[in-house]
A and B are shown apart, each in its own frame.
Chain A
Amino acid sequence: MSFLNRLLLATFVGVVLAAGVHIAAILTAPRYAEQDAFGRIQPTLAAEHAQIISAPGGANTWLPMPDPAAAVAACAFNLSDGPARIAAKTGALFLSFSFHTKTGGVFFAVTDRAAVRGELEIVVMTARQLDEARAGEDVNEPSRDVRIVAPESRGFMIVRVVAPTSSLHAQAQQAAEAVSCTVDEQV
């Protein structure tokens, strides 16, 4: 085999391996990203209220392309401490929750249309915690919690409150900050 042929073969092998490297890099990027939303929100795990990550006006935020009309706040959760209970009082402003994990992306989202008597309350749990909660439940008095099962035990919740006018920015920010994120006592 002449040197040129071997060079061509090596180039071909390199390109084929490059495809593998490319796929591996894309697949592992969410797991190893440190500056992703999960990594930035995780330090606020102990907070009992949602922490603003992008205030209305869109200034001073790490969130790319922020919506200047929206107040965006986040809560981290770790379900190994117990189910996470996210609760908000809804008002006239649009309010939505979305639930994310580090590598799985969004797993649930809900808007204030689902609110019951002005309150939107979601309990995030693992499949096992859901089974335990069901098993420990009083048959005559079933829980009214809206329960969702998270695919991973660690993740974060994003609340968005949209202000239709700039005069409502402060109100939107307050509504987002008032969202409580607590850990339920395990049964």
Chain B
Amino acid sequence: MNVQPVLTKTPAPAFVRASSISSLPVTSRFNPTVLLIIYALLLALALGLGSAYLALKGDPPFGGVRIGPWQTWPKLGSPEADPYMRAIVAYGGDVPLATGEGLAVTARTDNEGRELDSGCSYRIGAVMPAARIWTLTLYDRDGRLPASGSARSSFTSSEIVRNTDNLFFLNLSRDLSAGNWLQLPPSGSFSLVLRLYDMAGAGGANLKAEDLPTIERLGCGS
């Protein structure tokens, strides 16, 4: 019984050997298989590292919450942050606000989803969620504070002037404007970051669009 398989297998190695010998002259001249393997590995490296690099430079792909024009990643500052969040934080050398400290929300678009453009003017208002102190900061396209020396680039809850109904309006434009005003950078897109320090409620889980200020585009070009 045991002899049978051995007997049937004997021709097979001979066949393999014969075929490998017969293909040897071909491979010594041109071997597409080796080239294809190298191609596959290079493709894997280029696509894998390229996509990882793009992911590291961007926003965390998962766990984002969109509240009106504002966007936030509630788990970014918590031990439950996903691997993308951790990689992005490490790559950028960032230290995100921890969940126990407060919540940061970012806006890159206005209420209607159009990218914030420093060629336009905007009005932000009129309510803020309850927090011990909040700061609203304007950054240029590269995430830097605008280089304008004298003009401010941020407002805090203590600095902003409110009307008698405890509402506030903040104008964003390149040219001087009355009231609460932040100067936009000379060109390009910009972003706004609202930091709510010591915010009531667990990590902004209950935030609704009507709790956060709206970003209304007034007009473009001047």
Which residues 56-97 of B have a CB within 8 angstroms of A?
56, 77-79, 81, 83-87, 89-97
Contact A160–B135 (Cβ < 8 Å) = no
Contact A106–B96 (Cβ < 8 Å) = yes
Contact B154–A160 (Cβ < 8 Å) = no
Chain B, interface size: which category?
Answer: 35 or more
CB 8 Å contact bits of B9-37 with A (1 = contact, 0 = none): 00000000000000000000000110011
Known: A22-B51, A164-B156. A36 touches B93 (CB 8 A): yes
A109 to chain B, nearest CB (A): 3
Known: A40-B93, A64-B94. A69 touches B156 (CB 8 A): yes
B159 to A, closest residue via Cβ? A165
B77 to A, closest residue via Cβ? A106
A86 to chain B, nearest CB (A): 14
Name the B residues within 8 Å of A135 (CB-CB): none
Name the B residues within 8 Å of A22 (CB-CB): 47-49, 51-52, 55
Contact A68–B98 (Cβ < 8 Å) = no
A169 to chain B, nearest CB (A): 11
Name the B residues within 8 Å of A104 (CB-CB): 79, 86
Pick the residue among A26, A59, A74, A107 that contacts B55 (CB under 8 A): A26
Pick the residue among B36, B51, B85, B133 that contacts A18 (CB under 8 A): B51
Chain A, interface size: which category?
Answer: 35 or more
Known: A20-B44, A69-B154, A98-B101. A164 touches B133 (CB 8 A): yes
Contact A21–B145 (Cβ < 8 Å) = no
Pick the residue among B47, B56, B83, B94 that contacts A37 (CB under 8 A): B94
A27 to chain B, nearest CB (A): 5
B135 to A, closest residue via Cβ? A69
Tell me which of B163-171, B192-200, B210-218 binds A.
Answer: B192-200
Name the B residues within 8 Å of A65 (CB-CB): 94, 137, 139, 143, 193
A127 within 8 A of B: no
List the 4 shortest-distance A-B pairs measured between CB atoms, nearest first. Answer: A21-B48, A14-B43, A17-B44, A109-B100
9 contacts between A and B (CB under 8 A): A11-B43, A13-B40, A20-B44, A29-B91, A37-B95, A65-B193, A72-B95, A94-B198, A96-B102
Question: Could you tell me which A residues sit within 8 Å of B by CB distance?
Answer: 3, 6-7, 9-11, 13-22, 24-27, 29-30, 33, 35-40, 58-59, 62-70, 72, 74, 94, 96, 98, 100, 102-111, 113, 158, 160, 162-166
